[in-house]
Amino acid sequence: MTSTEITYIVIGAMAGGFINGLAGFGTSLFALGFFLTIMPPAQAVAITVVISVVSGVQGLWIVRNSIAKNPRRLARFLLPALAGIPIGVASLKQIDVSVLKLLIAFFLILYGGFFSLRRTLPKIDRPTPVIDCTVGFFSGIFGGAASLSGALPTMWCSMRAWPRYETRAVLQPFNVTVLALTAAMLAWNGVYHRQTLIYICVALPTAIICAQVGIYVFKRLDDALFRRLLIGVCFVSGSVMLLRELL
């Protein structure tokens, strides 16, 4: 392993771990670009998924009480997503994944840009079980088809008038579960060979430490600022995804 490889892996793990600790998602957005510079896409995704899950498990601990208080809310998102993942995987041969990514990137940019410019954010506080299930189901499809399971829940949850711990109690376990299933499928396909495991051993300690830094910052945000953060991440995520697909 060269010093250049180590540098890119450590920087990617730092960025991915921090944003996961801060927002509860977004590891691939900030880490994948660094990893793709020095390794093939399948290997980069395999490493990103592992550090996403490990970083996410740390975040689960700080929202454990919020999850326990309202497990039905999480189930409305997560159970339909589990049903949607196989549909997404099965649709890989019928859809153009690049076009799907461009469409989602467009909506992320439109949504993030629009609400970033508004002084007041929407505050949907009534129960919406049907919409929650629908968002979860299509997120599972997008996750299975293009590893984009986090886009719809992030947009929808940032519109809800939930405290930041309750919002994270949906996003964090949702993403950890979907990505853990993705890691299991990658392992089944033999992606985690010796070199990949070595890269993971380099990336994990850095990602774990930086996730703790992100969690520290998260605890000091107020609810309104956290919602703004989610919207901002949507805009950045869409922009990065658009550039990656076009270039």
pLDDT for position 146: 66
Instruction: Assess whether pLDDT exceeds 70 at residue 199.
Output: yes
pLDDT for position 138: 92
Report the distance separating Cα 212 and Cα 209, nearest Å: 5
What is the tens place of the pLDDT at every residue in 109-121?
988 888 887 777 7
Mean pLDDT confidence for 12-29: 86
Mean pLDDT confidence for 92-121: 79
The residue among 127, 114, 122, 113 whose CA lies nearest residue 158 is: 122
What is the tens place of the pLDDT at every residue in 209-241?
999 999 999 999 998 889 888 888 888 888 888
SS3 242: helix
Q: Give the DSSP letter string of 22-47.
A: HHS--HHHHHHHHHHTTS-HHHHHHH
Taking the whole predicted model, whether its pTM rises above 0.85 is answered as: no
Instruction: Assess whether pLDDT exceeds 90 at residue 200.
Output: yes
Report the distance separating Cα 31 and Cα 23, nearest Å: 14
pLDDT for position 77: 95
Q: Please report which confidence band the pLDDT of residue 80 belongs to, taking 50, 70 and 90 as the band edges.
A: very high
Instruction: Assess whether pLDDT exceeds 90 at residue 170.
Output: yes
Task: Count Cα atoms within 13 angstroms, Cβ side, for 190.
Answer: 0
Residue 59, C-beta contacts closer than 8 angstroms, at least 6 positions apart: 20, 21, 24, 168, 172, 211, 215
Q: Please report which confidence band the pLDDT of residue 75 belongs to, taking 50, 70 and 90 as the band edges.
A: very high
Task: Count Cα atoms within 13 angstroms, Cβ side, for 109.
Answer: 12
pLDDT for position 187: 84
Report the distance separating Cα 21 and Cα 37, nearest Å: 24
50/114: higher pLDDT: 50
Report the distance separating Cα 208 and Cα 188, nearest Å: 25
pLDDT for position 136: 93
CA distances from 170 to 7, 101, 162, 177 (A): 33, 23, 11, 11
Instruction: Assess whether pLDDT exceeds 70 at residue 66.
Output: yes
Give the mean pLDDT of the chain.
86
pLDDT for position 218: 93
